[in-house]
Amino acid sequence: MSKNLFEYPNQQFLDLYVRLLKWFVFIVISVVMACLLYAFWPTGMKNLFDNKVYPSQEQLERREAQRAMNQAEQNWDKVENGIHLRTGLVYDENFNLINATCTPCHSAKLITQNRATREGWIDMIRWMQATQGLGDLGKNEPAIVQYLSEHYAPDQIGRRQNLDMETIEWYELE
Amino acid sequence: MSDLRMNKKDKKGIHQLYQNNPSQADKALWGRITPLGRRGFIKKSALATMNAVLGANMVFAEHFPAGMIPALLYHSTEPFQIPGKSEQLVVLNDRPINAETPAHLLDPEWTPNDLFFVRNNGIPPENVNPKSWTLTIEGESAKTTKRYSLEDLKNNFPTVHYYLTLECGGNGRKEFNPPAKGNQWSTGAVGCAKWTGVKLKDLLEDVGIKKDAVYITYYGKDTHLSGDPNKTVISRGVPIEKALQEESMVVWAMNDQALPVMNGYPLRLVFGGWPASCSGKWLQKIAIRNKIHDGPKMTGQSYRVPCKPVPPGTKVADEDMCIIEAMPVKSLITYPKSGAMISLNRTLNIRGHAWAGDAAVKNIEYSIDFGRSWNPCTISTPENRNAWQHFEAQVKFPETGYYELWAKATDENGQSQPMILPGWNPRGYLNNACHRIAIKVQ
């Protein structure tokens, strides 16, 4: 009995050895396959065969930020349909004058949301001069008043307007 | 940053602000003045710096270019909005920040902090330290001058809370014709919150009020848009009688939370029912005056209406303009949101709020036939004076078609809301015309 222990190869031992080896190979292949699936899912197996270096999340974000900044830079003075997009002001030959005179102190939205006649705009300028620290507009005043009263003149809206059908968002009430 | 919650899909607010006026958005939203100046825009050559900024995560670095959306925020899930405010507010103006609340968002009984409108005249103070904040009370009609810390206010006087309605004097300005200058408020420059603080009366009596006292006024810590540090942004107030009312308060909390930055953190006045401009924010000084106060936006045409009615478009001399005191009776339908489509057999439950300056609202009616007939709503009793009241009604529609639901409140003095615009005034104040929403019955 003890003699048999040292006989080699022993058929029983060999069978056990082969069985273990088969299992080992199966597990290794499974693990490798799982890793491959994990690494390339869901981009697909085609990525196995190219040598691209895929950017990190940080790099992607950086790239997106650059793109956004470039776009913002390009859009800085973009004009569409006669409107200077960044400020929302009507774009004409007096735009730069208006932008330089008014927006250092307040938003262009304060201009674009208001409507007044020539006299009304002059009154607002006088009020800003009297109380808000606006200086004398000198020779620029006529052009400024012209711009404002031309592009931001009052609409005749009557004593009360219809509800604005354009802006109502109709919805089914549950 | 942690309190600036926003969903990825809701980037519009900040992006719009930046698109409209980058430097000003910077200043208004972040309180940052960039040393590079208004055109200090980053050039391609400077992108290396930018990358360093990004890599190092220095979003708020001083040298960050003027008016850029801080790049990490561009796709961050927690980008930006008016600090402490919902993205759903309608921004009328970004410098100074002015934003109103759509009517349907005023549906809760008490207006939540993030939905309460913002009316700034200047730039809010930065880096407020509540521990070192003080309130000084002085003036020619004060017997002494005293200075209180926030702890003094909390410890030395009874803490009270009231539900008080604040409405901008110019709420509804948008509808006036000829148009009036200023922020073109629609219906949303109003809210009613639970305010916690001390009675102004207790403070004034602690300092001592001389017999000749006529008015009290405030000075806040906000700074003038022109950048001039010596210029007071706004300094208004109320007659001493209003100041001594039980419900006139100096507050540090709104709906049991610290005041939002945009609503006056850490301390403000609240005078319910009067133009909200009386209720000074970022409060650091109160003066007891022996005459009607004459500070910025107290005089001239600001927060004043013609003493006698005038035809639309009239130029009115300053001496013929009178200070607005209590606001007029008004109401808002907060449910449903305008634009509801319902089926014919449905009973529609409507609700909203009504308020009337210093008075209580006695009744409120609704009409679905353009004012030909009116039906009563039920209305709650006010929680306290100057608190808005809640109304509701069940509405049936006779046939399919387009309807407008109108609401009209009447106060205890018999004053009611007009259906067209009330008397025209040069600055477009006090529009209490009845609120209208659109409904389709199918």
pLDDT tens for B186-242 read: 999 999 999 999 999 999 999 999 999 999 999 999 999 888 889 999 999 999 999
User: If you count residue pairs, one on A and one on B, with CB atoms under 8 Å apart, how many are there?
Assistant: 142
- Domain membership of residue A59 (yes or no) is no
Smallest Cβ distance to A132: which of B47, B182, B226? B226
Joined together, the tokens standing for residue B424 give 């025209």
Indicate the number of domains in chain A: 2
Residue B52 belongs to what H/E stretch?
helix B47-55
Range from A44-48, B79-83, B143-147, B380-384 carrying the lowest mean pLDDT: A44-48
pLDDT for position A46: 56
Residue A114 is assigned to a structural domain of this protein: yes
The string of pLDDT tens digits covering residues A128-155 is: 999 988 999 999 999 999 999 999 999 8
pLDDT of residue A141: 96
Q: Looking at CA atoms only, how far is residue A57 from chain B in angstroms?
A: 12
Which of B95, B231, B408 would you mutate first to test chain A, the one with the most A CBs within 10 A?
B95
Q: Which residue has the higher pLDDT, A138 or A174?
A: A138
**Is A35 inside a domain boundary?**
yes
DSSP-derived 3-state class of residue B92: strand
Band the pLDDT of B259: cuts 50, 70, 90.
very high
pLDDT over threshold 90, residue B36: no
> Would you say residue B351 has pLDDT above 60?
yes
Interface of A with B in 66-105 (CB under 8 A): 66, 68-70, 72-73, 75-76, 85-88, 103-105
User: Which of B19, B336, B440 lies nearest to residue A86, judging by beta carbons?
Assistant: B19
Q: What is the pLDDT of residue A75?
A: 78
- What tokens does A28 get? 């290794």
pLDDT surpasses 70 at B10: no
Higher pLDDT, A35 or B86: B86
Chain A closest CA to B253's CA: distance in Å?
30
Give percent of chain B above pLDDT 90. Answer: 78
Average pLDDT for B63-72: 40
In DSSP terms, which residues pair with B166 in a beta bridge? B191
How large is the average pLDDT for residues A4-17? 72
- Check B95 against A107: CB less than 8 A apart: yes
Instruction: For residue A54, tell me if it sits in a domain.
Output: no
Within this chain, do residues A97 and A146 fall inside the same structural domain, yes or no?
A: yes
Interface of B with A in 219-258 (CB under 8 A): 224-226, 228, 231
Identify whether A79 is part of a domain.
no
- Asked if pLDDT for residue B286 goes beyond 90, the answer is yes
Question: Given a cut of 70, is residue B183 above it in pLDDT?
Answer: yes
Mutation target vs B (from A58, A61, A67, A69; most B CBs, 10 A cutoff): A69
Kindly provide the b/e burial profile for residues A52-88, where b requires at least 16 CB atoms within 10 angstroms of the residue's own CB.
eeeeeeeeebbeebbebbeebeeeeeeeeeeebbbbb
Where does the pLDDT of residue A4 fall: very low under 50, low under 70, confident under 90, or very high at 90 and above? low
A133 touches chain B (CB under 8 A): yes
Band the pLDDT of A35: cuts 50, 70, 90.
Answer: confident
Helix H, strand E, coil C: the string for chain A is: CCCHHHCCCCHHHHHHHHHHHHHHHHHHHHHHHHHHHHHHCCCCHHHHHCCCCCCCHHHHHHHHHHHHHHHHHHHCCCEECCEECCCCEECCCCHHHHHHHHCCCCCCHHHHCCCCCHHHHHHHHHHHHHHCCCCCCHHHHHHHHHHHHHHCCCCCCCCCCCCCCCCCCCEECC
CB contact under 8 A, A160 and B71: no
HSE value, Cβ hemisphere, 13 Å, CA-based, for B436: 22
Q: Which member of B20, B51, B228 has the closest CB to residue A108?
A: B20
Residue A121 lies in a domain: yes
User: Is B436 in contact with A163 (Cβ distance < 8 A)?
Assistant: yes
pLDDT in tens, A57-89: 888 877 877 787 777 777 788 899 999 988 899
- Give the structural domain span for A27: 4-49
pLDDT of residue A52: 67
Q: Please judge whether A103 and B21 are an interchain contact, meaning their C-beta atoms are less than 8 angstroms apart.
A: yes
Query: Chain A contact for B395, CB < 8 A?
Result: no
Q: Is residue A120 in a domain?
A: yes
Across the interface, do B38 and A64 touch by the CB < 8 Å criterion?
no
pLDDT given at position B28: 43
A92 and A147 both lie in a single domain? yes
Percent of chain B with pLDDT over 70: 82
Given an 8 Å threshold on Cβ–Cβ distance, is B421 in contact with A159?
A: yes
Cβ contact B74–A64 (<8 Å)? yes
Residue B77: pLDDT band with limits 50, 70, 90: very low
Tell me what the mean pLDDT of segment B356-360 comes to: 98
Q: B146 in contact with A at a CB cutoff of 8 Å?
A: no
Assign domain B134-323 to its CATH architecture. Answer: Alpha-Beta Complex (3.90)
The domain limits of chain B are 8-81, 134-323, 330-441
B330-441, CATH topology level? Immunoglobulin-like (2.60.40)
Helix, strand or coil, per DSSP, at residue B114: helix
Grade residue B367 by pLDDT with cuts at 50, 70 and 90.
very high
Q: Do B21 and A87 touch (CB under 8 A)?
A: yes
Predicted confidence band at B95 (pLDDT cuts at 50, 70, 90)? confident
The predicted-structure confidence for B287-338, as pLDDT tens digits, reads as follows 999 999 999 999 999 999 999 999 999 999 999 999 999 999 999 999 999 9
Residue B182 touches partner A, C-beta closer than 8 Å: yes
In a domain, A45, yes or no: yes
